[in-house]
Structure 1
């Protein structure tokens, strides 16, 4: 599920991870426990759309490159993909651009969610402004407990199909890989070296937030990926670790 200022990770069954009784894993993410915001506060945020409907979030890397989650693009034709940038609303305003190509990480696994990251090339260039800006990539993962924010148009209640039209965000605390995979939380060894977590009681990303940004210290540190439920006790949101995957992103952005 996507997680962050209103970012939600995709929920998936991960081998070896205990599943809370009665809670079914679900795809995509959402923001729970957050608040409405405007695009000027998170101008790197985009809405990734399939056939005119919001499907995932993403982050602006350059005027022609978007970073998102690999699970958002599995088997999808570029002909039905567009991104909306520069608007607080996924269904209006800003600019709507066609996707020309994308590249999923070659090591992405839909069963383990390892390497859940992708880059998109736009058919035309974005014009940067106060509401459309690129965001830098983290060189190192933030420390355990660091403040972070997640944003997106994901659902605000776990299991809901209704998406808010206005952008939302949520403030969360980073949970290091070592801590997230420890007995303090419920995932165990399902959390691997290309992942980072974030957890604050009652706050999380959710369905529809997948692929969106988790930002800390002014840089992109995570991409909403997966989790069990949204804001479920002792189950942090799990994000792709941008610092661990940085070299792949830089290379893929040049070649996609």
Structure 2
């Protein structure tokens, strides 16, 4: 918990200082109607990380930047192409993080959390849930990651939604790069495309289903390395069980 607090405080401090370089590198600006499952998670009104809509009451994110003991300091924004204005902003009622989540250096096995909102989202063209994958996509499959992490020229201003097209990387090849890779993780990447720390929690989508949650940013965001994601298909039983408890 001390580590989670440290990460959150560090993140908020960077936001306040205007020194964040976290972004979807090489991405293109997107309209929320193209990625209506996209959400952003905020602590005390400041963008903390990404999230994804599972239902009108539930969003999924990474465990890395949430504080389950203090749900009311969190809020979620959906339905907007900008992270801190427009769409719908809803306060958080309850958070459950994976009980086996643990940072191992920069790696985070079981980096998943589910959130119940205080009020239901109004679903529509720009706010829509996405189904969970039953199996991880095969190596070479096309996937898309979206998020608000890319900075504008004035980084203290609101951030726009960006996306990148990626390909799923063979597990064994990725494991050769990252020796701590485990079955609850998958990798995706493309030359010139990467994500940074603010995109943790953002959705990776393939064939219309949620296949990953940004978990570990590869090699300090260098785009020649794939990004590591929580493997949604592998973690699906835990996700559904946790949702039932909320």
**Residues 101-140 of structure 1 aligned to structure 2 (within 5 Å):** 101-111=94-104, 112-140=107-135
| Counterpart in the other structure of 1:166 | 160
Structure 1 residue 91: deviation in Å?
Answer: 1.3
Contact 1:119–1:249 (CA under 8 A) maintained in structure 2: yes
Residues 1:231 and 2:222 aligned together: yes
Contact 1:153/1:163 (8 A) holds in 2: no
Change (3 A) 1:140 1:118: same
Contact 2:48-2:65 at 8 Å conserved across structures: yes
SS in 2 for 1:251: helix
Q: Give runs of aligned pairs for residues 50-89 of structure 1, distance below 5 A.
A: 50-74=43-67, 77-89=70-82
1:208 Cα deviation from its structure 2 partner: 1.3
Q: SS at 2:221's partner residue?
A: coil
Deviation at 1:181, TM superposition (A): 0.7
Cα RMSD after superposing both structures? 2.2
1:100 and 2:90 correspond = no
In structure 1, distance between residues paired with 2:78 and 2:235? 24
Structure 2 counterpart SS, 1:250 = helix
User: Partner of 1:196 in structure 2?
Assistant: 186
Q: How many equivalent residue pairs?
A: 224
Q: State the alpha-carbon separation in 1 of the partners of residues 97 and 169 from structure 2.
A: 25
Q: Distance in 2 between matches of 1:53 and 1:59?
A: 17
Given that 1:214 and 1:223 are in contact with CA atoms closer than 8 Å, whether structure 2 keeps it comes out as: yes
Q: CA deviation at 1:164?
A: 5.8
What are structure 2's unaligned runs of at least 5 residues?
1-6, 8-19
Larger proportion of helix: 2
The secondary structure found in structure 2 opposite 1:181 is helix
- Higher RCO (C-alpha 8 Å, min separation 6): 1
Deviation at 1:178, TM superposition (A): 2.1
Secondary structure in structure 1 of the residue aligned to 2:220: coil
Provide the C-alpha distance between the structure 2 equivalents of 1:143 and 1:191, rounded to a whole number of angstroms: 17
Give the direction of change, closer, same or farther, for the CA distance of 1:226–1:28 in structure 2 (3 Å limit): farther
Task: Return the alpha-carbon distance in structure 1 between the equivalents of residues 123 and 99 of structure 2.
Answer: 30
> 1:78, CA displacement in angstroms?
1.4
Q: CA deviation at 1:74?
A: 4.3
Match for residue 4 of structure 1? none
What does the per-residue CA deviation read over 1:36-63, in whole Å, with 9 as the maximum and x for residues that have no partner? 0010000000010111111111110011
User: 1:179 offset after TM fit, Å?
Assistant: 2.3
Conservation of the 8 A alpha-carbon contact between 1:101 and 1:121:
yes
CA distance in 2, matches of 1:49, 1:153: 12
Q: Secondary structure in 1 aligned to 2:197?
A: coil
TM-score, normalised by the number of residues in structure 2: 0.85
